[in-house]
Chain A
Amino acid sequence: MEQVIQMNTSTDKLLYAKEVSMGFDGKTIIEKININLKENEIVSLLGQSGIGKTTLFNVLSGLYIPDNGKVFLKGEDITGKPGHISYMLQKDLLLPYMTVLDNTVLPLVIKGENKKKARERAGSLFEKFGLEGCEKKYPSQLSGGMRQRAALLRTYLSSQGIALLDEPFSALDALTKSAMQKWYLNIMQEIKLSTIFITHDIDEAILLSDRIYIMGGKPGKIIAEIVISTAKPRPQDFNLSEEFLKYKKQIVEKIEGK
């Protein structure tokens, strides 16, 4: 009975990881992680490199089976079952031997969707993702920012509303990164994609997220959860505002363990 009640209260949780622990060769990497993602939310996972963020993502996406704990998608147990949540890895990983269009429809084709229909659907989104005219090009012909947008389009197309992004903008130069973040916030308003993304950039986390999970310790745990309540769309100079700095200070203190 208690179980049922708990299920009902968690219906607004689209994705829910419960007490997830995972290690390799007897060494625990992440321990008792509880995180969740609500509809249309952008949540970031902030922490140093090597803390286990990517391991957690691999568990959430079903690539790894955790030693302990479970992952639920809309109440359904998806632990260790890949293919439910689209996952964008650190590199853009566009396959160099396929055109940009074929790259973006690949997950749909793998899911067994009709290739022609998938292409039509993807093609109609190229403009929105700033990729018009690139359909027949190969990834090597695109700039870093464009490749990232193409990878994001691929992730979005195959997602059933949820995406995991592993440091999506970390490989870009500072100016491109800033432009990409603005573009990303805009498009998120339109396409309604609930996202968890990994970052080790505090500014980026505050700028983009509704909520931030801070990871720390060894093995990695969630040491704090911070809600960024500033309404979206966020004001133009949000990253220069006092409010922003207040959040930043709060986060730095948590990370340093004060």
Chain B
Amino acid sequence: MIKKYQNIINKSSPFLALAILILIWAFICEFEIVPSYMLPSPQSVAQAFITDLPTLIEHAKVTLSEAMLGLGIGIVLGFITASLMNRFSFLYNAVYPLLVISQTIPTIAIAPILVLWMGFDMAPKIALVVLTTFFPITVGLLDGYKSADKDGILLLKSMGAKNFEIFKYIYFPSALNHFFAGIKISASYSVVGAVIAEWLGGFEGLGVYMTRVRKAYQFDKMFAVIILIIIISLLLMFIVTLIRKAVMPWERKEVRNK
């Protein structure tokens, strides 16, 4: 019985923490510790969120399609790069340092260049999302491939398996866990990446809308956009978790057994 309560407390604790945070926020605004033009109250943000929702959804559609396209391309590119690097060690040695260097380039610095090169349409935004999502997926997969059981590879070889079969039956399944961890991080990066790219130019999207309301000093609307971005990111991560569970049924059974 005590254990059951403990469980409920454990599960509800993050929501409790969030609720307390919002209460403090409301308290600060209510007693005007911070002036309301600088920090809108949670009520007014909620108000803005609800009244703005149709516009927000229109903009979110654009941002989300940029993020999804970018993430999709990032996954495919990451998969190809990591698999080739795993297969050919000279490629690994040559490309790995470049990968790391590419990650030290600040997104915000490269975004305006991309806009200059590719114009104000979706292309530079997708490119930026690809750049930010590509790395965690590639590195995740590489780590996963490295974790493959050497004896398992030997066993497959003794069965007369070819390189592709060793990849299919040993390398890829061993890397799935890392692969999904990479996708999960990338999914949240993808939305933020798209929004940042939109700040710098464009006609539609949550980033564009955000710049617009910021210039009008409508902070309540800006907070509403931020909250929507958070919700979208969380949803995407949740969807990745669902897909992971569907693709890797053995993980579930293992947990159930222990």
Contacts and interface: CB of A to CB of B under 8 A. Distances in A.
Nearest to A140: B254
Interface stretch (A7-15, A29-37, A90-98, A204-212): A90-98
Contact of A138 (B152, B154, B250): B250
B253 interface: yes
B159 A158 contact: yes
Given A93-B152, A97-B176, A106-B169, A138 B161 contact: no
A107 to B, nearest CB: 4
A83 interface: yes
A63 interface: yes
B158 A83 contact: yes
A87 B173 CA distance: 22
Interface string A91-126: 101011110000000110011000000000000000
B157 interface: yes
B159 A89 contact: no
Interface in A160-190: none
B10 interface: no
Interface in B66-108: none
A222 B149 CA distance: 31
Q: Which of A87, A110, A111 is packed against the most chain B CB atoms within 10 Å?
A: A110
Nearest to A111: B160
B159 A107 contact: yes
B58 interface: no
B154 A110 contact: no
A32 to B, nearest CB: 24
B26 to A, nearest CB: 49
Interface SS majority for chain B: helix
A63 B154 contact: yes
A106 B159 contact: yes
Given A91-B151, A110-B165, A97 B250 contact: yes
Interface string B237-258: 0000000000011100110010
Interface in B156-202: 156-161, 165, 169-170, 173, 176
B160 A141 contact: no
A23 interface: no
A109 B231 CA distance: 45
A87 B158 contact: yes
A141 B253 contact: yes
Contacts of B176: 97
A89 B155 contact: yes
B149 A97 contact: no
Contacts of B249: 138
B169 A82 contact: no
A250 to B, nearest CB: 33
A86 interface: yes
A95 B158 contact: no
Interface in B110-169: 149, 151-152, 154-161, 165, 169
A15 to B, nearest CB: 15
Interface in A56-93: 58, 61-63, 82-87, 89-91, 93
B253 A140 contact: yes
Given A93-B152, A97-B176, A111 B169 contact: no
Given A82-B160, A98-B173, A110-B159, 19 more contacts: A63-B158, A82-B157, A82-B159, A83-B160, A87-B155, A89-B151, A89-B154, A95-B169, A96-B254, A97-B176, A97-B250, A110-B156, A110-B160, A110-B161, A110-B165, A137-B253, A140-B253, A140-B257, A141-B253
Pick the 8 closest A-B CB pairs, nearest first.
A83-B160, A87-B158, A107-B159, A97-B173, A138-B250, A140-B254, A110-B161, A61-B158
6 contacts: A84-B160, A85-B158, A86-B159, A95-B169, A95-B170, A158-B159
